[in-house]
Structure 1
Amino acid sequence: MSNVVQYARTGRTGVITVDYPPVNALGHEVRKGLVAALDAGLADDEVDVLVVTAAGRTFMAGADIREFGKPSQPPVLPDVIACLESSTKPLIAAIHGTALGGGLEVALACHFRVALRGAKLGLPEVKLGLLPGSGGTQRLPRLIGAEKALDLITGGEPVSAAAGLELGILDAVDDGVSALDAGLRFAQRVRDESLPIRPVSGRDDRIVGTDPALFAAYRAGLSKRARHLFAPHRCVDAVEAAVTLPFADGMKRERELFLSCMDSPQRRGLIHAFFSERDVAKVPGLPAGTPIRNIASVAIIGAGTMGGGIAMCFANAGIPVRLLEAKEDALTNGVAAIRRNYEATAKKGKLTAEQVETRMGLIRPTLAYADLGDVDLVIEAVFENMAIKKEIFATLDEVCKPGAILATNTSTLDIDEIATATKRPQDVVGMHFFSPANVMRLLENVRGEKTADDVLATVQDIGRRIGKVAVLVGVCYGFVGNRMLHQRGREAIALVDDGASPQQVDTVITDFGFPMGQFAMGDLAGIDVGWRIREERRKAGDPDAPARNWVDRLAEQGRFGQKTGAGIYRYEPGNRTPLPDPEVEALIAAQRAEQGVTPRDISDQEILERCLYVMVNEGAKILEEGIAVRSLDIDIIWIHGYGFPAFRGGPMFWADQIGLATVLDGVKRFHATLGGAQWEPSPLLERLVAEGKRFADL
């Protein structure tokens, strides 16, 4: 018997328990142990029903990450599942915590499934560029029908135990506290009611008569919402096989499709994104066990769109918030906007009216800095003006208690200069949220020169508590994300100067996999934001500040983007679809004439290379300067903050995949033909190419 799977007898019930911390992943020892324990249960003449359950905080997860990239050792999971399903004694899965991926496939192999009410069930493989490869695409439709199976498998999101019962995945939901006890109770029900063994693979009542048009319609929908993705389309193929083929043939088809996903570059990118999201929490140079300051209450300064969104993040996590504004009307409007956001969420059925009131009750509006005297964390979220921010921090230095963390949400300004306004620079840190703050998952935490280690550990932890992916970076203009974005934006504008149209540039970027193009994104955020930042840099005499361009001219005309109905594109009332605008085309043509530029035809490939290679080159400089410690930090910032397609793994991973020599050749070519500091090759990029290494090797 395996030491991670035990078999024991409780009365007339044989109990198979997986105990493989932390998540009971289906590694080799677990797979081998399940088969051995099943054999023991079948050979035990004293028992007539078997229960499969798990120790610890959860049922079974999917593959063991410790075995990723290694050849699979027998028994492989599909064979283990076939053994379970062929049990001659009734077999019950008793589920608590989560049954995800291979864990749910194990449960589907059992003859009955019971779960505690707090459990969640799902097949999330599509998020890793895969499909359920151990019968999940063949068994789930037989339980819940093809359409609902398609929703679960292509979406990858878990469902509650209650939803699982309603769908037909579960046979019972138990309100007890122990999955084992729930399993034992159901075992007695099997005896009392003489419930027959009915393997899922033999059921077809939920799939007989499925309209073939369902699959064509589903593929059409995916072509709009997931047109770049490989795995969701293969999931549809697999579920269609469940409906149209005998079970054994469907399993063979599932295996073929699973292997095609394994071979896809998208799978590599999504796996990299998956592991990198976890790795960013482990900060190199921050000692393990660094103490964390207690954050029981926070204050947000500024009740605008950003400040209100940040306040919602903390209220959503049950943390009391004081929301400060300078003027009564701004404060009233800010609180009203928060309520509208919550009520809109409630209308979608994602919050109850009671939850709306609970969260609103956690947000206490104020006009007085004196009310911030006892909070544990303050986040300043006013507009980008150094003088105003320093004035605020000087006030916070006076009113906040010792040990309070003083954070700024600045997206570009120097944290160290802001810290000079206080007598406690060790408590000052950047916490750069992304708009809309209550939706976007990225939190770019910025380490100042004198920021204390326990402050860094605390803001990383608080990011986790409020559901963010927190990445720690260093101080420079724009930090990591915006510094790279500004280079891409500069290049996009230059491409239009040279002859491309804004819509051509945006189409190339969205065809690559971004949800929005550079210019459509600018209109959404408001082009006045970048314009004001550039103006501040120009006024300050920054030699790297870009010259006045056609986007600045649009902003000067009050065309700020979607919020004014016109920006780089025009917008019909009530419609966010960007439409080309002849007025913008005329303005661009006039600027070209002023500068003596004859527009030329620009290929999509040139647009792609100039927009992406400039980002990779800047990312290499960021790594070289130590602003980001690892290339995966940059990848996660761009995936979660800027919509870089996760299936490509992030900009630095993508560069590794296409070859750094290819990128460097392009950078050198554009440096020779276009000039500009942004095209000066990064010494790190040159060194890696010379040594035949990748960013991942650093």
Structure 2
Amino acid sequence: MTTAVTTEITDGIAVVTVDNPPVNALGYDVRQGLADAVAQTDGDDSVRAVVLIAAGRTFMAGAEIKEFGKPMQDPGLPDVVLSIESARKPWVAAIHGTALGGGLEVALGCHYRIVDARAKLGLPEVHLGLIPGAGGTVRLPRVVPVARAAEMVATGRPIRAQDAVQIGLADRKSDGDLRVDAIAFAGDIAGDPLPEALVNRAPVDAPDEEKWREIAGKLVSKARGQNSVLRAVDAIGEAVQLDGTAALAVERQIFTELMQDPQSAALRHVFFAERSVGKLPELRGVDPRPLSQVGVIGGGTMGAGIAVALLLSGLHVIMIERDEDALAAGQGRVADTLMASVKRGLISPDKRDTLLKGFIGSTGYDALAQADLVIEAVFEDMDVKKQVFAALDAATRPDAVLATNTSYLDVNEIAASVADPSRVLGLHFFSPAHVMKLLEIVRPDQVADDVLATGFALGRQLGKIAVPAGVCDGFIGNRILSAYRRECDYMVEDGATPQEVDSAMKAYGFPMGIFAMQDMAGLDIGWAARKRRAPTRDPKERYVSIADRLCELGRFGQKTGAGWFNYPEGSRRGEPDPLVENIIAEEAAKNGIEQRDFTAEEIMDRILGAMVSEGRAILEEGIAASPEAIDVVMINGYGFPRWRGGPMFAAKVAEQGNG
């Protein structure tokens, strides 16, 4: 047996422990160790039952990353799972932390499962462009309802321990010492006949053809072109129709095909990129400053979202607003957002009450005297932000970190408004701030290393993907957004309709098009930015005035019922408006443009070309540290389809294909 897996036998119960830090990945040593443990316990007459448990902070969390894309050394995981399932002694999987991917497949090979109350279980392979490859699509619908199995495999979303018990994935929940409870459970079932292997069982509730079409249709409609989601649905459909052995063969065939799919290569690129972009060599060994109490300036949509994110991460929050009415509104937004989380089952009512006890408000900056970090989230106006930072400079401790949530403004100029610019950085959250995973950490010229390290530490605590960015107008994401939005404006003035542009983007895999996105965010935001840039705009640069004319009419998007599209009676689904079409035609005529038709392919070529061109400029200027950083920002902040790997990755693949 390998050192990654050890076996201890006491009173007839063998405890097989996997210890392969940091996440007990299923590399060769673990697979061989598990195969050896089956042989050892099967051959020992003193063993009545086996508990499979893991050391460290989690159960087995999937494949060994360094083995990705390489032939798996024997024994392969499918054979290991089958050997556990075929064991002569009952195996009980004791799950804590996360059982993901191959980890859950190993647990499904066990005859019983007991879960820690805080455990999560899932099959997230679709996020890597794959499906489960060690029997997950076959065994799961033979232990849980088929609709839930299909949802888990096709979405990759994990479920909580309580849900696992309710749907039959787990046999018992442990609210105390998992090891003790698992050993006791193993003792209880040791004398029972071995349950039938999952692979030999019938599906829990095989749906008829009409019901399956309904289940599959809902999942396929959300795929937006991602092959692994479509094939995951196929695999579950086959698993329900075929016997277990045949279904395993089909699963393996689909898994092998997807391993060669370019989408899988793109998704693996994103997987590694998201884990590497926030690791700065210059911060190695640099300790962040302590974080306990955080101030938030502003209680609007963004400020309230940031406050919620901070509260959910365990920090105490002080919200500052200009007067009592604004403060009450901001505190109400925070309370309402937390209540929405309660209604969605994300937190308990008691948890909400506890979080709100750590949330106070004030109209005076003196309440921030002991704050470790303050995040400014006021209106996007340089003079207003400078006034805020001057007040913060006077009210906070000299070692408190001061952050601005600006989307476009010069963080160096903001930092210059305090006595010690080294304590200032940018923390660009994305709305809604408590949901969106991306956090751009903007590093002004004079920022101290431990201040920057504090920004990344906060990102980790919030569960964000933190991407470093240099100072420029719009940083990484909004600068690229401005470039391709400008290209879309050109195409609309040249003859493409807003709905054609949006349709092309959705067909490519974006959740929504650029014009619908502007309507959702509010056209007044971009209008303010354009007016700010107007004095320095190159007079030779082509400028499209269509959006300005819409704003002059008070058409700011969904919030006013009209923008690029109409939104009748508060609808969130936009409808084309002849008034907008007339404005477009008038602007084209005024500028002497003869309009023409555009194909969807041409629209996307122009959009991607603008993204990549601006991305390369950002790299040359050192605003982004790598192409991977740009890809991560565009995927997590702007809806670029993950399965295409990001604009820089897609451009690289296209160039290699053309070469």
Partner Cα distance (2:604, 2:163) in 1: 44
1:572 is matched with which residue? 568
Partner Cα distance (2:464, 2:46) in 1: 51
2:162 is matched with which residue? 162
Q: Contact 1:116–1:182 (CA<8 Å) still a contact in 2? A: no
CA deviation digits over 1:406-457, x for unaligned, max 9? 1111111111111111110100101111122222111111000000000111
Q: Contact 1:394–1:421 (CA<8 Å) still a contact in 2? A: yes
Does the C-alpha gap of structure 1 residues 269 and 106 become closer, same or farther in structure 2, counting only changes over 3 Å?
Answer: same
Partner Cα distance (1:316, 1:220) in 2: 35
Q: Contact 1:147–1:214 (CA<8 Å) still a contact in 2? A: no
CA deviation digits over 1:513-543, x for unaligned, max 9? 1111111111111111011111011145676
Partner Cα distance (2:321, 2:8) in 1: 63
In the TM superposition, residue 597 of structure 1 has moved relative to its aligned partner by 1.2
Partner Cα distance (2:616, 2:92) in 1: 54
**Which runs of structure 2 are paired with 1:485-564 in the superposition (5 Å)?**
485-539=481-535, 547=543, 549-564=545-560
RMSD (CA atoms)? 1.8
* 2:423 paired with 1:427: yes
Partner Cα distance (1:345, 1:6) in 2: 42
Q: Contact 1:218–1:236 (CA<8 Å) still a contact in 2? A: no
CA deviation digits over 1:469-494, x for unaligned, max 9? 11111111111001111000100000
CA deviation digits over 1:580-614, x for unaligned, max 9? 00000011111111111111112222211111111
1:83 is matched with which residue? 83
Identity of aligned residues (%): 46
Aligned partner letter, 1:105: E
In the TM superposition, residue 187 of structure 1 has moved relative to its aligned partner by 2.0
**Which runs of structure 2 are paired with 1:59-70 in the superposition (5 Å)?**
59-70=59-70
Aligned partner letter, 2:370: D
1:239 is matched with which residue? 236
1:186 is matched with which residue? 185
CA deviation digits over 1:242-273, x for unaligned, max 9? 22111111111111111222122221121111
CA deviation digits over 1:284-328, x for unaligned, max 9? 4x2311011011111111221111111111122221222112233
Q: Contact 1:115–1:182 (CA<8 Å) still a contact in 2? A: no
In the TM superposition, residue 393 of structure 1 has moved relative to its aligned partner by 1.4
1:74 is matched with which residue? 74
Q: Contact 2:69–2:259 (CA<8 Å) still a contact in 1? A: no
In the TM superposition, residue 354 of structure 1 has moved relative to its aligned partner by 3.1
* 2:41 paired with 1:41: yes
Aligned partner letter, 1:196: L
Partner Cα distance (1:210, 1:579) in 2: 38
* 2:214 paired with 1:217: yes
Aligned pair count reads: 659
Partner Cα distance (2:93, 2:438) in 1: 37
Does the C-alpha gap of structure 1 residues 46 and 535 become closer, same or farther in structure 2, counting only changes over 3 Å?
Answer: same
Match of 2:301 among 298, 305, 317: 305
1:196 is matched with which residue? 194
Q: Contact 1:277–1:636 (CA<8 Å) still a contact in 2? A: yes
> More displaced, 365-374 or 415-424?
365-374
Partner Cα distance (1:606, 1:268) in 2: 25
Q: Contact 1:215–1:236 (CA<8 Å) still a contact in 2? A: no
Q: Contact 1:16–1:38 (CA<8 Å) still a contact in 2? A: no
Aligned partner letter, 2:223: A
* 2:368 paired with 1:372: yes
In the TM superposition, residue 467 of structure 1 has moved relative to its aligned partner by 2.0
1:281 is matched with which residue? 278
Aligned partner letter, 2:255: F
Aligned partner letter, 2:291: I
Partner Cα distance (2:332, 2:172) in 1: 43
1:256 is matched with which residue? 253
How high is the TM-score relative to the length of structure 2? 0.96
Does the C-alpha gap of structure 1 residues 352 and 110 become closer, same or farther in structure 2, counting only changes over 3 Å?
Answer: closer
> More displaced, 215-224 or 264-273?
215-224
In the TM superposition, residue 544 of structure 1 has moved relative to its aligned partner by 8.8
Match of 1:206 among 204, 208, 216: 204
Does the C-alpha gap of structure 1 residues 362 and 542 become closer, same or farther in structure 2, counting only changes over 3 Å?
Answer: farther
Does the C-alpha gap of structure 1 residues 282 and 506 become closer, same or farther in structure 2, counting only changes over 3 Å?
Answer: same
**Which runs of structure 2 are paired with 1:117-516 in the superposition (5 Å)?**
117-179=117-179, 181-191=180-190, 194-204=192-202, 206-207=204-205, 209-284=206-281, 286-516=282-512
Q: Contact 1:85–1:199 (CA<8 Å) still a contact in 2? A: yes
Aligned partner letter, 2:263: Q
Partner Cα distance (2:337, 2:134) in 1: 42
Partner Cα distance (1:617, 1:141) in 2: 47
State the SS of the aligned residue for 2:283. Answer: coil
Does the C-alpha gap of structure 1 residues 391 and 292 become closer, same or farther in structure 2, counting only changes over 3 Å?
Answer: same
> More displaced, 495-504 or 271-280?
271-280
How high is the TM-score relative to the length of structure 1? 0.91
Q: Contact 2:126–2:156 (CA<8 Å) still a contact in 1? A: yes
Aligned partner letter, 1:204: A
In the TM superposition, residue 545 of structure 1 has moved relative to its aligned partner by 7.8
Q: Contact 1:538–1:545 (CA<8 Å) still a contact in 2? A: no
